Amino acid sequence: MNTGITVIKYGGHAMTDGALAAAFAADIAALSGAGGRFVVVHGGGPQITDLLGRLRVESRFVDGLRVTDAETMRVVEMALCGEVNKAVVSAFAQRGVRAVGLSGRDGGLLRAVVKNPALGLVGQVRSVDAAVLECLLNGGFTPVVAPVGAGPEGQALNINADTAAGAIAGALKAAAFVLVSDVPGVLGPDKSLLPSLDRAGAERLRAEGVISGGMIPKVEACLHALDAGCGSALILDGRAPSSLRRFLTAGEPLGTRITSRAA
């Protein structure tokens, strides 16, 4: 296990809220300066939806995944690999972080196949070649990854950012996978926060409809990362200022810890 690597899925309000985004960048800078090594996989759903709306293209979702036809895929890649990725890299660089932006199509990082023809060009990760990430990390850089993968014919495929981040965390056998969310964590049937959740509990809550929509790929990503050898997985409340730093340095319970088995 790579004891010094933390893979972070970064998105939602933590990215779009100016104050939270600034705090996140400052936390990455401080934690990196203290010796932490990070891979940041970002989302960009609001930015994609905004651009699609301006182009008068309808957004549709199934189980938290965006239905992606060829026109939508062009917009997704434009928004994620261009605008969003470079904005995150720039925010980090302004605070002294040696950040490098790339997509899952670079260096063969994310190889994927079409997940479900009904979803269009939505990818299911089949393999992760983490060599490019390891080269960057060993050189003292912080990789910032846009979740666009390469299909069998080299075509761009839209990969859910939670899923992509979990696959990368597993491939790196990272010490921790932290998934920044727009909610406190996983909520139980009574809407109270669950501080921890194992596989059996997750399957039960999904069958009951308690875990639904965008929370489905989040929980699945955590379980996949753990199965592949990641040390720990957490769905973190990204609405709390500096929640990442507070969790990593002080262990504050700011979300739901996902485990493969009951403790």
Return the CATH number at 45: 3.40.1160.10
**Is pLDDT at 242 greater than 90 in this prediction?**
no
The label of the residue with tokens 């605008």 reads 83
Give the pLDDT score at 176. 94
Q: What tokens does 14 get?
A: 């933590």
Name the residue range of residue 173's domain: 2-259
Q: What is the pTM of this model?
A: 0.93
Mean pLDDT of 87-105: 97
Q: Quick one: pLDDT band at residue 2, thresholds 50, 70, 90?
A: low
Question: Tens digit of pLDDT for each residue in 146-158?
Answer: 999 999 999 999 9
Q: Is 147 helix (H, G, I), strand (E, B) or coil?
A: coil
Q: How many domains does the chain have?
A: 1
Looking only at the bridges linking them, the beta strands covering 110-114 and 123-128 are: antiparallel
At residue 83, does pLDDT exceed 60? yes
Query: At 102, is the pLDDT very low, low, confident or very high (cuts 50, 70, 90)?
Result: very high
Biggest distance spanned by C-alpha atoms of the chain: 49
Contacts made by residues 69-75, CB under 8 angstroms, sequence distance 24+: 69/120, 69/121, 70/120, 70/121, 72/120, 72/121, 72/158, 73/120, 73/121, 73/156, 73/157, 73/158, 75/48, 75/51
The DSSP bridge pattern shows strands 110-114 and 233-237 to be unpaired
Give percent of the chain with pLDDT exceeding 70: 98
The answer to whether residue 129 scores a pLDDT higher than 70 is yes
What is the rounded average pLDDT for all residues in the chain?
92
> Model confidence at 57, in pLDDT bands (50, 70, 90)?
confident
185, two tokens = 């964590």
Sign of CA dihedral 251, 253, 258, 262: positive
Pure H helices in 34-69 = 45-54
Which residue intervals of the chain are DSSP H helices?
13-16, 18-33, 45-54, 70-77, 85-93, 131-138, 161-172, 199-207, 215-227, 243-250
pLDDT one-digit tens code per residue, 193-222? 999 999 999 999 999 999 988 899 899 999
Query: Rounded distance, CA 154 to CA 152, Å?
Result: 6
If one compares 253 and 174, the residue with the highest pLDDT of the two is: 174
Contact 179, 9 (CB under 8 A): yes
What are 189's two structure tokens? 């049937």
- pLDDT at res. 262: 59
- Return the SS3 of 39: strand
pLDDT(1) > 80: no
Task: Burial-class residue 22 by CB neighbours within 10 Å (0-12, 13-18, 19+).
Answer: middle
